[in-house]
Amino acid sequence: MKNLLSMEYLTNDEIMSIIERAREFEQGAEPKLDRSHYVANLFFEPSTRTKTSFEMAERKIGCTVIPFEAGFSSMLKGETLYDTVKTLEMIGLDAVVIRAKEDEYYRELLEGINVSVINAGDGTGQHPSQSLLDLYTIYKEFERFDGLTVTIVGDIAHSRVAKSDAIALRRLGVNVNFLCPPEWAGNFEAQYSWDGILEESDVIMLLRIQHERHDVPFSKELYHQQYGLTVEREKQMKEHAIIMHPAPVNRDVEIASELVECKRSRIFHQIHNGVFVRMAILETILKER
């Protein structure tokens, strides 16, 4: 695997292989790389989780990380992303992790670039490392995908997590439902009410309301009441069902604040799992270099 760009390009075997390797890392396995690699993290959008998770994973598999301040680079002087990445390649980097505002920003990097590219989120496109950690979290819980029911709730049209997860989960045999306000469904076929959802879902996957991508004023209370996971709704979930959220969480909007760390919640576990998944992604890519 040279790059990780979109869940669409990963086979089920590749997905399972990353999940299994992540589990080995979580159980203490040592990375299988014969040298230290140089990587940089190019984040053109704010991030806490994904960026620090990659920074941690990179150090844990023995990479040397070259700092790159996206808000203070020569792209301010009009340099293209291609020229920026090519520059990093010539400086000696093995891989770059990129988050950018533009959907499929990586298209311009497919030719002429030898450094490996790991997509850490492209606009409203894909977020494959998040998707892989979601899959790992589900697999750790149920030890299978086939026959599970996952309901993705919220700002689906803007969510790269929804897209990435839906593609992969369906391919792995999961029954995926969507629940959201009618205006947020985008191209997805969604339900507009909770009717029947809590009774049949093994996973309730909440999405962050991306206030920064919406113009229209919005009532947090109303959203919480209609589409949020309230304390009452949590009680109606199936016995072994779990709650997921890619975070950051808008407390008392997508989910009642007191549920964020409840027994069913895997929200902080997802973050913990993410480090091992990213170690697996990096090792898979770097060991072929």
Site of interaction with a copy of itself (CB under 8 A): 38, 40, 43, 46-49, 51-53, 55-56, 59, 64-80, 83-84, 86-88, 90-92, 112, 208, 210-212, 247-251, 260-261, 268-269, 271-272, 274-275
CB 130 within 8 A of CB 169: no
**Closest CB 273 distance from a copy of itself, rounded Å:** 9
CB 43 within 8 A of CB 113: no
Q: Beta 149-153 vs 38-43: how paired, if at all?
A: unpaired
127 is annotated as contributing to ligand binding: yes
Q: Say how far apart CA 288 and CA 269 lie, in whole Å.
A: 30
Whichever of 35 and 77 has its CB closer to a copy of itself, that residue is 77
Within 10 Å of residue 233's Cβ, how many Cβ atoms?
16
128 is annotated as contributing to ligand binding: no
Whichever of 125 and 246 has its CB closer to a copy of itself, that residue is 246
Within 10 Å of residue 238's Cβ, how many Cβ atoms?
15
Residue written as tokens 């979109």? 6
107 is annotated as contributing to ligand binding: no
Residue 239 dihedral angles phi and psi, to the nearest 5°: -55, -50
What kind and span of H or E run contains 41? strand 38-43
87 is annotated as contributing to ligand binding: no
Whichever of 86 and 238 has its CB closer to a copy of itself, that residue is 86
**Closest CB 28 distance from a copy of itself, rounded Å:** 13
130 is annotated as contributing to ligand binding: yes
Whichever of 16 and 260 has its CB closer to a copy of itself, that residue is 260
Q: Report the binding-site residues for L-aspartate.
A: 77, 160, 208
